Every structure is written in C-alpha cells, then in structure tokens.
Structure 1
Amino acid sequence: LFRIAQEALRNVKKHSGATKAVIRLKFTRSRVKLVVSDNGIGFELPEMLGDFAIKGKLGLIGMQERARLLNGKFSVKSHIGRGTTVVVEVSSTDRNMIS
C-alpha cells in the first residue's frame, strides 16, 4: 500500500497542478482502504486503464497491478477541474499485507 500511495502522490506532483493532496487510511476488522485525493486539474479517464500504456503513462497501471497482487480492488475517479481520487481496498487478513 505504501508504494501505491507513493506513486499516487508522484502523479499528483507531476500531473495535477494541485495545491492540496490528502491521504486517508481506513481500517476495519477485515479491510484496509487507502484513499489518495487531490484538488488538481483532473483528467478524462479512458474506458480501459490499459490505454495509458499505449501512451507510456504507467503510473495508474502500476498502482492497479500492485492492488491486484494484494488481491485488492483499485479504482480511479477524476473530474476535469475537480481533481482525482485513487482508492485501493484490500483484505486486512490477507497474508500479503504482512509480508
């Protein structure tokens, strides 16, 4: 999760023009939820994140892959002029979280 948050913040710095970024972690008995959001310029999401790979933009794809390796859920929401939010949710009981 640390590497996903790190890459999300790198994207904020590199692409968003944001003046504010927020990282939130929410723990429940069975889940851990990471949310990284910003107030930047936002962008139009392609139907498939894989379309970013064609353009050589691999940050979101890397985050998605890391979440997949943790058996987690990954989502991105972005609105032009209103910023971007990256959400990753994983099991807190999964052994991958410990190692």
Structure 2
Amino acid sequence: RILDDLGLLPAADWMAEDLAKNCGIDAQVKVIGGERSLPAELELLLFRIVQEALNNIRRHSEASRAWITIEFGDGKVILAVRDDGKGFKLPKRIGDLASAGKLGLAGMQERARLIEGKLTIKSAPTKGTTVTVEVPV
C-alpha cells in the first residue's frame, strides 16, 4: 500500500525503518542522482527485490548494518542492497541459485529478468552480501 500511495523511495525508507525497529539492524537509504518517477510495474518489481533482500538480511545475515542505494543514471536505475553480515558462498553460476537452495535470490533474479535488468550478487563468508540490479529506463 505504501508503494502505491507514496512511491519507491518512501517505501524503501519505510522498509529500512522497519528493519531497524524490529530487528535492531541499522539500515540507511541513499539516493544518487535526480529522482524521477518510474513506471508502476518497474517500481513494484524493484520494491519486491528490496523486500526480499531485506528479508534475507533479517533471516540469514546476522548483520548489524544494511544499506539501500538507489541511483538514477542516464537511461538506467541501479538498486543495491548491502549488508555487513556473515555472507555466504555463492554457486559458480547465478543460474544455479535455485538448485543451491537460494530461492529468494533466484526469485530476485527472475524479477530482474522481467524488467530487462541485470542482477549481480556479491558475497563471501564473513564479507557480507551485496545484491545489485541495473535496469534500463
């Protein structure tokens, strides 16, 4: 509902505040570039990617801090969700996420594909995790 009423950035702020309030994980939102309105379908899929990334942080990361960055660039939007948690070993190919039991990450990959975006996941044990999606606009 907050996404429909206010848009992606206020929804991201709300999710960050919720993570801090309910999980004690200090979460911050940073916007780079001039904010602009995005198509509703794109906003919804980006919102769902942030939501899933924060759920993974909440459930698995043991993080104390998280960052959501939304960058409005020329012809693209880059969304990144990063944490300082325990990280994990990635499968060799991003296409192997589902078979490796990383269903939330596989779902993010599918959402990125639906909006012609590119999903990148960086993680390693003790190094935290960063999920980035770059989408043409």
TM range (shorter): 0.7 to 0.9
Of the candidates 27, 34, 53, which is equivalent to residue 8 of structure 1? 53
* Residue aligned with 1:10, SS: helix
What is the CA-CA distance between 1:82 and the residue it aligns to? 1.5
Moved over 4 A (4+): none
Q: Which has the higher helix share?
A: 2
Alignment of 1:2-41 (within 5 A): 2-41=47-86
Paired AA for residue 93 in structure 2: M
Partner of residue 135, structure 2:
90
Distance 2:71 2:49 in 1: 15
Partner of residue 57, structure 1:
102
Structure 2 stretches lacking a partner, 5+ long: 1-45
Alpha-carbon contact 1:16-1:42 (below 8 Å) kept? yes
Of 15-24 and 43-52, deviating more is 43-52
In structure 2, relative to structure 1, the CA distance for the partners of 1:74 and 1:55 (3 Å cut) is closer
Percentage of pairs with the same residue: 55
Partner of residue 88, structure 2:
43
Structure 1 stretches lacking a partner, 5+ long: 93-99
What is the CA-CA distance between 1:55 and the residue it aligns to? 4.8
Alpha-carbon contact 1:40-1:84 (below 8 Å) kept? yes
Q: TM-score, normalised to structure 1's length?
A: 0.86
Partner of residue 113, structure 2:
68
Aligned length: 92
Partner of residue 95, structure 1:
none
Partner of residue 97, structure 1:
none
Alpha-carbon contact 1:35-1:88 (below 8 Å) kept? yes
